[in-house]
Amino acid sequence: MADVTLRKVVKRYDEVEAVRGIDLDIADHEFVVLVGPSGCGKSTTLRMIAGLEDISDGDIMIGGDIVNDVPPKDRDIAMVFQNYALYPHMTVAENMSFGLRLKRYPKAEIKSRIDEAARMLDIVELVDRKPKQLSGGQRQRVAMGRAIVRNPKVFLFDEPLSNLDAKLRVQMRIEIKKVHQKVRTTTVYVTHDQVEAMTLADRVVVMNHGRIEQIGTPNELYHKPATKFVASFIGSPAMNFIPCRLEDLAGKLHIRLTDRIAFPLPPARAARYQGIPRTDKLLLGLRPEHITEARPHLASGMEAFDTVLDVTEPMGMETLIYFTLEGSQVCGRVNPNAGAQDGAPLRLAVDLNNMHLLNEVTGVVL
């Protein structure tokens, strides 16, 4: 068990900078997820922590010791790979014990560790099988078992669920969380799936173009994104961005979306955005759940407007609606009984208490 620290870590491949100076503190026992689109440097970062890639610049510390030049085997880490990377000629038990046998652990100790890990992962009856006799989910459990028996300082997961089908992925997600609750090993987990990141992580690190966009708990990232990238990456369906600008109307600060539509801002928001020049090009960020059908009595901060729907998607517990506002497509979530129909008009309400205002040029959330 140990904390992991990255200080201005850089990875250069010839001319390309894959990772451009990352600072990250991972506390002992913490479950941190690195998430981002492909090519954002998350896997490279993980592989640098593992020691499978050299560091071009900066420092990586595990348990307080700088490990820049320490080979992977001496870093006391365990890694779970996307394609499982089980040794095909060994049984499950041999796969799990390979590292311990190399370190010449006593046989009894190896056996007890395998038994414990196999029980934890519910693969007791599989220990004598070969990997090719296992299903994808079982292979992934074995790969995790191989990490657990080592009892390392840090677990590293490299997109471990990407090869599994959707249903199994949800199941294994819960398994991973359970395992972490039991062993409490510091974990760094890489995924491109924001749902996985949100559900598993104590803290999520959103990466883009080799940099960290934002670090925070899943709720912080969802409710207080720092940039447009984070706002659009986290959450499904994604946040809507509507071009807008600020306007003073009758002594109150309004947000103008179209020639027809301008909403007065709630007092708290008005105070916060007062200093922004009225000429700035802005984006109104609204999550779909904050665009709903208008009820007769609107709560404070809710503003109603009329629109014509393009498409509706009934999901059962809710209906997703899509309409166009100033050329951009907007998604909302309404009650299935709200009467939303393809091509039909509907009166909607936006919840401005949960709005985000972004600078269109810099993408920063104001």
Partner 1 sequence: MTTVTVDKATPTRKVKYGSMSRDRTWALRWSYFFLVIFAIFSLTPPIYMLITSLKSSAEISAATNPWWVFHPTLENYVGLLTSNQFLRFFWNSAIVSIFVVTITMLISVPAAFALARMRFWGSAVLATGVFLTYLIPETLLFIPLFKMFAVIGDWTGIQLINRWYVLLILYPTLTVPFCTWIMIGYFASIPKELDEAAIIDGASWIQTLTRIFIPVAFPGIIAATIFAFTVSWAQFLYPLVFTTSTDQLVMPVGIITSLIKGDVFNWGQIMTGALLGAAPPLIIYAFLMDYYIAGLTAGATKG
Which contacts qualify for 16-23: CB closer than 8 Å, 24 or more apart? 17/210, 18/44, 18/210, 19/44, 19/45, 19/48, 19/210, 20/209, 20/210, 20/211, 21/57, 21/58, 21/211, 22/58, 22/207, 22/210, 22/211, 22/212, 23/212
Say how far apart CA 304 and CA 296 lie, in whole Å. Answer: 10
Q: Is 14 in the site for partner 1 (CB under 8 A)?
A: no
174-203 residues near partner 1, rule: CB under 8 A: none
Nearer residue to partner 1 within complex by CB, 39 or 72: 72
Contact of 127 with 51, CB cutoff 8 Å = no
55-114 residues near partner 1, rule: CB under 8 A: 71-73, 77-79, 81-89, 98-99, 102-103
Count the Cβ atoms, other than its own, within 10 Å of residue 110: 19
Q: How far is the CB of 1 from partner 1 (least distance, A)?
A: 18
Q: How far is the CB of 9 from partner 1 (least distance, A)?
A: 19
Candidates 7, 29, 52, 304; binder of partner 1 (CB under 8 A) is 52
- Give the total of residues touching partner 1 (CB under 8 A): 27
Contact of 242 with 284, CB cutoff 8 Å = yes
Say how far apart CA 81 and CA 189 lie, in whole Å. Answer: 11
Strand partners for 351: 302
Q: How far is the CB of 303 from partner 1 (least distance, A)?
A: 53
32-51 residues near partner 1, rule: CB under 8 A: 50-51
Nearer residue to partner 1 within complex by CB, 74 or 125: 74
Q: How far is the CB of 64 from partner 1 (least distance, A)?
A: 21
For residue 72, count CB atoms less than 10 angstroms from its CB and return exposed for 0-12, middle for 13-18, buried for 19 or more: middle
Q: How far is the CB of 82 from partner 1 (least distance, A)?
A: 8
114-173 residues near partner 1, rule: CB under 8 A: 131-132, 139, 146, 150
Q: Beta strand pairing status for 154-158 and 77-80?
A: parallel
> Is the Cα torsion angle 13, 163, 203, 333 positive or negative in sign?
positive
Nearer residue to partner 1 within complex by CB, 118 or 239: 118
Nearer residue to partner 1 within complex by CB, 40 or 79: 79
Q: How far is the CB of 162 from partner 1 (least distance, A)?
A: 13
Q: How far is the CB of 203 from partner 1 (least distance, A)?
A: 24
Say how far apart CA 366 and CA 356 lie, in whole Å. Answer: 7
Per CB under 8 A, residues contacting partner 1 are: 50-52, 71-73, 77-79, 81-89, 98-99, 102-103, 131-132, 139, 146, 150
